[in-house]
Structure 1
Amino acid sequence: MPGTTGHTHTSHRHSTTHLLEAGYRPVSTETAHTDLTVRGTLPPQLDGTFLRIGPNTRGEHDPAVQHAFAGTGMVHALRLGGGRAHWYRNRWLRDGALARELGELPTPGPLHGLDGPVNANLVRHAGRTLAVTDGGALPLVLDADLRTRARTDFDGTLPGGFCAHPLTDPVTGELHGVAVDPAGDRALVLTVDVEGRVRDALPVPVKGRPWMHAFALTERHTVLFDLPVAHDPAEARAGSPVPYTWQPDRDARIGIVPRDRPGAAALWLDVPPCFVFHPVNAFEDADGRITVDVIRHERAFDRDRLHPSESAPTLWRWTLDPREGAVVERQLDSRVQEFPRIDERRTGLPYRYAFTVELVPGQGAALGGPALLRHDLATGRTDRHAFGDGRQGGEAVFVPRDALAPEGDGWLLTLVYDTATDRSELLVLDTADFTGPPVATVPLPARVPHGFHAQWVPSEW
């Protein structure tokens, strides 16, 4: 893989004119369509629902003045099964403000978390599909028609809000999360049992309410990212819905919290200043060293407070040595990329393959790009699947060919926007022919704006 090991700490204002393009414009209506056309052959093993979530502002949207992460959440879904694409639909998520705006009854459930937009991610756990986000809001429970059924605090066991990037341990089936307390200087390291109740909430002291958008998990540790993007009181007083900015005087450090020692303190290791929205995966060796692969931004929300556009994110590896108190970092690939996914059966374990979205250089705020990348971390080879002229795709979801398939053997599903038709389509790639044509394409009768994260929910809800 191409790469370098040096650091460049300059900051550049990237153009955000691409955010005015049709692929980024919010859609204005909720729609539903059935019996969609399929080009090619949908594998019969794909029996489930593909989901995608992101901000979708109601009414006028101006990226020059509105924060990229603040729009009302919308979920898009395609139901697949029996070699057919049965339906597509989209719905706004009913937070308190939207329910009032639509004249609907409030969404039931507790309200000890914030009642802001839930637009960041989706997770399936304990028989429920949950929409989740940053900032202290509670998860929203969605039904199979994408209706918002309730807010949940996991049967009263969640002491505050939740987080945007929970991870499922593939061995135990438990759900893990790291939530920053919006009212205090601490993070809560959370474990949700297989029945959907919080069984452990470990408080970890932090300073100044850092933006811990995500974390990493190994078999024995939780890895925290306390980096220089943190709560900015001046932005909050000015009314910013996402009052987090780059703070150059703040330390950058990685925290290691044991999973098998209740109440144990975090061990903090310093790293050069940077920001991580999305780790790829983490694992540890027999000597206690922890490998953490991340998409690393040189900085974020510094000169541009509305978009994560300060630098060109690339793939890096941190090797943590708790005994020596040291971190060694190395760039694995120099191409601009984001939205990493893996075969989630390897979450927290040694792994080989990472899938990312290649971005256009100079468009640091991009949510879609011209190609998918597959990194073979064992051989150093990177393969590229290009979408074609005028086409951009977002985060892909990996679905194994079967439960016992080797790592990375299966399908990648992603939504691609085509500027020529002003429509989106679902692409299904077979990883056995990653660079070849899709095995199936499902054209949609609508446009799906570039959004955040995707999920696959097997079979019926």
Structure 2
Amino acid sequence: MTDEREAEGRKGTARRGGGGTGSAADGARGSSLRRVAGDALGNPYLSGHFAPVHDEIIAVDLPVTGRVPESLRGRYLRNGPNPLTVDRPAAHYWFSGEGMVHGVRLRDGRAEWYRNRWVRSDAVAGRLGEKLLHGPRHLDMDFAPNTHILNFAGHYLALVEGGALPYELDDELFTIGPFDFHGTLPGGLAAHAVVDPATGELHAVAYCWAWPYVQYLVAGVDGCVRRRVDIPVPGRPMMHDFSLTERHVVLYDLPVVFTPHTGRPVAGFPYAWAPGRAARLGVLPRDGGPADVRWLEIDPCFVLHPMNAYEHDGLITLHLVRYDRLFDGPRPGPGERPAYLERWTVDPVAGRVWRQRLDDRAVEFPRVDPRRLTARHRFGYAVAEAAGYGVPAGLVKYDLERGTSEEYRVAAGGDIGEAVFVPSRPGAAEDDGWLMSYAFDAERGATDLVVLAAQDIAAGPVARIHLPVRVPLGLHGSWIPDAV
């Protein structure tokens, strides 16, 4: 870290979105559940738990209640929309804000720092009065990715779907610039990617609404795309995520489509439910081509987030969160409709899919131990939603073999985000580790990074790392361990 950055960290600075500076105390005061102008127009995504923050904060030597496990050495990072400005508050939807990454650095039982930074697209850098980074673009798209952040081949990558490039950050969340996989990425990437624990390779299904395509992409451990399969998919559907097994890729072609071609835009959101459009799964062998996709028709529904997938005896098992329909209401986003955890059993040869609901709680953001991705797993974790625009009220742990679950609930007025599983040590059993998530503490008026023992989440956090500010509800993130 440079001397200038070290000095900034010791001071605990706050940077305002308009480009000025203030104190960390100013940032903390501004972090409470304040309302903004959009709330007067009835937009829940500009107020309360979703309200954007307006300062970039660096805070060091964070206070902790409980004890941070010594084995946690790395960074917990989470991305999410955080608009710099909102031109039309009444039409604002949650997924449109520029990405802001919130991170906590843990080492030797200490929480060394918290910091948050906007991803610097050229548009963001220009509005902050900073030097433009420039760099490659796809179809001249300049957007600060706001959906996910992961580490692959030594690169911290902020992700978004729809055709834009990922952006690379450094380990202190400063933006390096657009990342095109060393010139090998043929278009945009995706909001979700799977790093296969068996090979270390990254798999993604990229789609683009402007110049319609769907591509299955594989990047090698050298950070270069080594495989591309163009898959004909008509109608410009939203393909937010996909599933990966040891031998197959599962595609979700479902009835949510790009709206300018339907005449049904919803509150400015560019995708909408398409009544009458068929729903289908595509099963593609990892080494297959476009003609090898086996399309299986299913009942209309929508899947934002699968939990995991694996195969056995010729069948594919999918654990996922299913909506009966989505993006057909006046305000697209969390809480529009409930979603439920299901198990789908897919027989590609017979062309059949069997569904089984596993829980009657509304849940989202399912995750598993990342070492079990593409393989059979016993445990899964999800966010339990409360009523009213998807404000999450707790975490659920599922034992998918026994059919049981347990829950951790936050205190009244709080919230909690997607939980990331971290094994307690190399070679630890599947459920032997920690769950980490940002949780807003209404009594304190700020957010904690909570650490729960995955084997007993009902007991509550083993550590609460107290941040000086509120972290708005966001989307996806990762635990990025220190290199050994």
**What is the TM-score when the length of structure 2 is the normalising length?**
0.87
Q: Which of 173, 181, 184 lines up with 1:146 in the alignment?
A: 173
1-structure distance, mates of 2:382, 2:399: 12
User: What residue in structure 2 maps to residue 292 of structure 1?
Assistant: 318
User: What residue in structure 2 maps to residue 176 of structure 1?
Assistant: 203
User: What residue in structure 2 maps to residue 341 of structure 1?
Assistant: 367
Q: Which of 233, 239, 244 lines up with 1:212 in the alignment?
A: 239
User: What residue in structure 2 maps to residue 394 of structure 1?
Assistant: 417
Instruction: Point out where structure 2 has 5 or more consecutive residues left out of the alignment.
Output: 1-41
Residues 1:161 and 2:184 are matched in the alignment:
no
Q: Which of 70, 86, 99 lines up with 1:44 in the alignment?
A: 70
User: What residue in structure 2 maps to residue 442 of structure 1?
Assistant: 465
Residues 283 and 291, structure 1, Cα contact 8 Å, conserved in 2: yes
1-structure distance, mates of 2:275, 2:191: 24
1:250-289: per-residue Cα shift (whole Å, max 9, x none)? 1110100100335552111111111111001111112x11
Tell me which of the two structures has the higher relative contact order, counting C-alpha pairs closer than 8 angstroms and 6 or more residues apart.
Answer: 1
SS in 2 for 1:434: helix
1-structure distance, mates of 2:468, 2:87: 23
Q: CA 1:308/1:299 → structure 2, altered by over 3 Å: closer, same or farther?
A: farther
1:281-325: per-residue Cα shift (whole Å, max 9, x none)? 111112x11111111111111123532544211101111111111
Letter in 1 for 2:102: H
CA drift of 1:337 comes to 0.6
SS in 2 for 1:188: strand
Q: Which of 447, 452, 461 lines up with 1:424 in the alignment?
A: 447
2-structure distance, mates of 1:269, 1:37: 52
Residues 66 and 306, structure 1, Cα contact 8 Å, conserved in 2: no
Q: CA 1:376/1:239 → structure 2, altered by over 3 Å: closer, same or farther?
A: closer
Q: CA 1:25/1:216 → structure 2, altered by over 3 Å: closer, same or farther?
A: same
Residues 289 and 322, structure 1, Cα contact 8 Å, conserved in 2: yes
1-structure distance, mates of 2:455, 2:299: 38
2-structure distance, mates of 1:22, 1:148: 28
Letter in 2 for 1:115: D
Q: Which of 282, 295, 305 lines up with 1:278 in the alignment?
A: 305
CA drift of 1:52 comes to 1.1
1:117-146: per-residue Cα shift (whole Å, max 9, x none)? 310001110001100001111010000121
User: What residue in structure 1 maps to residue 280 of structure 2?
Assistant: 253
2-structure distance, mates of 1:65, 1:186: 28
Where does 1:48-127 land on structure 2 (aligned, <5 Å)?
48-59=74-85, 64-113=90-139, 114-127=141-154
Residues 258 and 264, structure 1, Cα contact 8 Å, conserved in 2: no
1:202-223: per-residue Cα shift (whole Å, max 9, x none)? 0010011110000000000000
User: What residue in structure 2 maps to residue 191 of structure 1?
Assistant: 218
Letter in 2 for 1:109: G
1-structure distance, mates of 2:233, 2:159: 22
User: What residue in structure 2 maps to residue 356 of structure 1?
Assistant: 382
Q: Percent identity?
A: 44
Q: CA 1:130/1:197 → structure 2, altered by over 3 Å: closer, same or farther?
A: same
- The structure that is helix-richer by fraction is 2
Letter in 1 for 2:315: R
Letter in 2 for 1:370: A
1-structure distance, mates of 2:53, 2:124: 15
Where does 1:223-234 land on structure 2 (aligned, <5 Å)?
223-233=250-260
1-structure distance, mates of 2:452, 2:223: 33
SS in 2 for 1:23: helix
SS in 2 for 1:250: coil
Residues 1:27 and 2:18 are matched in the alignment:
no
Q: CA 1:63/1:384 → structure 2, altered by over 3 Å: closer, same or farther?
A: farther
SS in 2 for 1:69: helix
Residues 426 and 441, structure 1, Cα contact 8 Å, conserved in 2: yes
CA drift of 1:96 comes to 2.5
**What is the TM-score when the length of structure 1 is the normalising length?**
0.91
RMSD after superposition: 2.1
2-structure distance, mates of 1:236, 1:457: 43
User: What residue in structure 2 maps to residue 454 of structure 1?
Assistant: 477
How many residues were matched structurally? 442
Instruction: Point out where structure 1 has 5 or more consecutive residues left out of the alignment.
Output: 1-15
Letter in 2 for 1:439: V
CA drift of 1:241 comes to 6.6
Q: Which of 427, 431, 456 lines up with 1:433 in the alignment?
A: 456
User: What residue in structure 2 maps to residue 244 of structure 1?
Assistant: 271
Residues 214 and 231, structure 2, Cα contact 8 Å, conserved in 1: yes
CA drift of 1:21 comes to 4.7
1-structure distance, mates of 2:127, 2:47: 27
Moved more, 230-239 or 258-267: 230-239
